Structure 1
């Protein structure tokens, strides 16, 4: 069973079409783009143009999460034009299973999907290739009131979750010595105020979403990250259709090149980049909350990126640990060895666009 990796927004985003053919209207503060194809050679430009229009499907609408916002911004900033990629962006619904199936069928060439969800998809015969991941910190977390100072205090309490206990949270509780069987699990909606109102003693959520919502409401909570308990995860991971990637490697490389270049720009210009997403989404988009989402994730990525490591690099040890965790919690029908799990990921695309830990822009 695949776990949803996309964050849930706290607001309803209305009036979104199934497909957005092009994003226009660059903000005046944007970093100027070069001429079309100006960031790559003429030969490479021709190779990318030969692929035709390619489609990227977001993880969840136009939320300002890593692997979503920087791609929206790259389009607005003209970075995809710079590398001769004709990109169409579609808003995802948050249904990870649907996203992976659309990529596997080549209706969509790229999507945001966690590394653990990619492994689960492969286990179900849905083929796609992982091409990057910003961090080994998982999105799923557990929140409690500040009175909880040790997770074992949750024995015999009520835990709110959104349909299933995320495997990363389950692993964290196990690693912390919690008697998970003693905890009463109840299904709750997406209103995190059930925690400070005392309806539950702990609440699952997403690392950049509910904690920021509660903080904005003046509610103090403690965030428990599985990562801090030795549990693998992923944040801001991207995947592609395997056949498309094999046939058009320069498109995959330059898609990542433009996205990573925009990530670095948006890390310093959060409000501007979130403004692009707000313009696309229309009325009802919570700019302040989405700025908080972006800044939280950028901070996590910066804090957990090994010194000298390439931005977006795939960690084979993390992949192996994810496969082991999924098997431990019954989420794989067929166990995977480390080599088998890593065969579903290709680190070469990030390696091709990086030098000494930096994104190469423009391309050589």
Structure 2
């Protein structure tokens, strides 16, 4: 008996931690990664004993995780609505980069867009949670179908029998049944109408994330490993699923699922588990615009990696530091009011790199940081001496500043450069220009440092950076010293072809936070807060604000003098080396060209070679932000080829594909500027995105594209607007600063496109005016 008890005790010590994963639906290849992690021992290797439960359709699978019936679950973007209601759930990682939830209609019905579903009968899920992305699309487009909520396992047959007009299903599942019976269908995907949401995401409850963060990390790690395995060994996983999980599904059906999910997960272009907070914020804004979310939601509160960091917050600061912050309530910060791209006071609003760091630091220390309004950097320094500022956002220590400031660990390291007129030679040795007038902003730390290192340098104090660059352009100064980031930013914006970066210093400007030295605890707090900023976040901020490239130019004079003195034999050796280098350079160029083509493949549409929807989602945000920074208009047009389905039906899909290619080439040829973009969003829908033009200029450009398409003279007998193929456009032209987000623009352009169609097609509808 004692031996039995002892054995049971030993067994319990080595048994895995028991946890339950609640699936969102019935067993199928949709969950292959989880099966792989279990069957191949990836969970066991990390000490996890995982039970995978099939969906009980009478229960809410999300609430089963919230109430602790299961520790982990799978759901889509509906999770954000649960968070808006303060439900205690935490997103661990996304698996599907796109939702597979789509609407199916029969080809014969001619219902090929969501707009045609108004008052039509759509067989829908019993619970909104299962098809939220589709409901959001209807809300977004103002479409109101009749929802028949009797959907069950085999209800797709109702569509086959024409008992309903449309059916909600999974891209990876139900289309197989129609394919098997040889029935042609239309697939209406919300992603093609501005609703490109995450699909399946792994989530847990707050209790599990708080009490067992290491277990969450292990479960995430093993799950991602399982998904890679499942997609790389599809045939093996199909056999396992067929024999142990989904016995009623055919091998052929499971293989269809596997191939469809490969496209949805996109592991070859996006690592499994990649989470984009910007995309989540976009989703939240979308929900907010449609009244689905009212309160603000902090993304970091329910993303596990950020949530886990917050759990450890109390260990970052000690009790003394926490007590100090509670009493302090707000930290007052001084900035340089005109120092882009680092920072600027833009009509009372703090913008630039330090504005983004400020947001991060506020979350780390747990109290607000308030910017003190000043007009010049000299005013800011004066305020610091007078203790009107608790901290400086970005400073470097000097002897003078050490009298009233402590300095944190640097969080930015930026090279120092010298700017000259475009016709000056490249400067190899900075000490060679000490006899020339060189400007430096008064009060900047590197001025003091350079005066000590180069006592003979003729440094001239200036009011600000703009003053310095103007004086160099007007040849009142030989050069101006500044950081690579700030000088490069202003040269690209205002002085292209006039000024250049002609040399660099060995020194780097190491910048951190300056804290008032009569409250030394502030240095300790910000040292710890800075340490929490990830390298990835640093890189994101740098990439967003600094796109300056610095290339050295060679001064060949010393080389030529040396070359004249060398022997003939050495020249032969040199030529031999150059020949080898040339071959190496050709190989490097070849590799780079191959790499370039592979990037292009991931962001371009295969049929038309235009940019695809994935790249559209990236560029839309970047160009809108760029237009806001430059005080430009943002111009966005949605375009549909008129009566394209009848064209395909009349001339065939091969001619349809050729027409799409010809139209795409026509649009490309009509756009000439570097930051004019065209995208194929799906089917016959295109988007055109550009900035900096007035309403009249933008309208003229789009009208020109419309005419160029008709001038292709592609015969289209069933086009009610012309004897040739034509297109309709919805164009929005706005001051970028008046635009809240991309979704607002998309929605307006979509409504205008619809109006252009209602007004007879082959029209441009711009800002509510049809032309």
TM-score w.r.t. the length of structure 1 is 0.69
Which residue does 1:19 correspond to in 2? none
Indicate if the aligned counterparts of 1:158 and 1:186 stay in contact, CA closer than 8 A. Answer: yes
Which residue does 1:346 correspond to in 2? 304
Deviation of residue 216 (structure 1)?
A: 1.9
Residues 243, 214 of structure 1: alpha-carbon distance in 2 compared, 3 angstrom cutoff: same
In structure 1, runs of 5+ residues without a counterpart are 1-47, 355-364
Query: Going by fraction, where is strand more abundant, 1 or 2?
Result: 2
Residue 298 of structure 2: SS of its match in structure 1? helix
Residues 342, 91 of structure 1: alpha-carbon distance in 2 compared, 3 angstrom cutoff: same
Count of matched residue pairs: 293
Q: Establish whether residue 111 from structure 1 lines up as the match of residue 73 from structure 2.
A: yes
Give, in whole Å, the separation in 1 of the partners of 2:286 and 2:249. 36
Q: Establish whether residue 120 from structure 1 lines up as the match of residue 81 from structure 2.
A: yes
Kindly indicate whether structure 1 or structure 2 has the higher relative contact order, using CA contacts under 8 Å at least 6 residues apart. 1
Which residue does 1:60 correspond to in 2? 25
Which residue does 2:32 correspond to in 1? 69
Deviation of residue 199 (structure 1)?
A: 2.3
Deviations 1:197-224 (A, max 9, x none): 3222222222222212211222110111
Residues 344, 292 of structure 1: alpha-carbon distance in 2 compared, 3 angstrom cutoff: same
Give, in whole Å, the separation in 2 of the partners of 1:238 and 1:221. 31
Deviation of residue 132 (structure 1)?
A: 0.8
Residues 123, 50 of structure 1: alpha-carbon distance in 2 compared, 3 angstrom cutoff: farther
Deviation of residue 151 (structure 1)?
A: 3.9
Residue 194 of structure 1: SS of its match in structure 2? helix
Give, in whole Å, the separation in 1 of the partners of 2:84 and 2:63. 13
The partner residue of 2:91 within 130, 135, 158 is 130
Q: Establish whether residue 212 from structure 1 lines up as the match of residue 176 from structure 2.
A: yes
Deviation of residue 193 (structure 1)?
A: 2.8
Which residue does 1:260 correspond to in 2? 224
Residue 248 of structure 2: SS of its match in structure 1? coil
Which residue does 1:139 correspond to in 2? 100
Give, in whole Å, the separation in 2 of the partners of 1:195 and 1:119. 31
Residues 56, 168 of structure 1: alpha-carbon distance in 2 compared, 3 angstrom cutoff: closer
Indicate if the aligned counterparts of 2:105 and 2:167 stay in contact, CA closer than 8 A. Answer: yes
Give, in whole Å, the separation in 1 of the partners of 2:91 and 2:224. 16
**Displaced runs of 4+ in structure 1, greater than 6 A?**
48-51, 349-352
Indicate if the aligned counterparts of 1:167 and 1:326 stay in contact, CA closer than 8 A. Answer: no
Give, in whole Å, the separation in 1 of the partners of 2:44 and 2:159. 46
Indicate if the aligned counterparts of 1:314 and 1:347 stay in contact, CA closer than 8 A. Answer: no
Deviation of residue 237 (structure 1)?
A: 0.6
Q: Establish whether residue 321 from structure 1 lines up as the match of residue 279 from structure 2.
A: no
Q: Establish whether residue 292 from structure 1 lines up as the match of residue 256 from structure 2.
A: yes
Indicate if the aligned counterparts of 1:132 and 1:347 stay in contact, CA closer than 8 A. Answer: no
Give, in whole Å, the separation in 1 of the partners of 2:126 and 2:162. 19
Residues 349, 316 of structure 1: alpha-carbon distance in 2 compared, 3 angstrom cutoff: same
Which residue does 1:87 correspond to in 2? 50
Residues 90, 281 of structure 1: alpha-carbon distance in 2 compared, 3 angstrom cutoff: same
Q: Establish whether residue 172 from structure 1 lines up as the match of residue 137 from structure 2.
A: yes
Residue 198 of structure 1: SS of its match in structure 2? coil
In structure 2, runs of 5+ residues without a counterpart are 1-12, 310-533, 537-771
Residue 233 of structure 1: SS of its match in structure 2? coil
Deviations 1:239-293 (A, max 9, x none): 0122322333232222122111121121122232132223323743444323322
Give, in whole Å, the separation in 1 of the partners of 2:112 and 2:246. 41
Residues 161, 267 of structure 1: alpha-carbon distance in 2 compared, 3 angstrom cutoff: same
Give, in whole Å, the separation in 2 of the partners of 1:285 and 1:222. 24
Query: Going by fraction, where is helix more abundant, 1 or 2?
Result: 2
Deviation of residue 155 (structure 1)?
A: 4.2
Which residue does 2:421 correspond to in 1? none
RMSD (Å), alpha carbons? 3.4
Deviation of residue 340 (structure 1)?
A: 2.8
Give, in whole Å, the separation in 2 of the partners of 1:140 and 1:62. 17
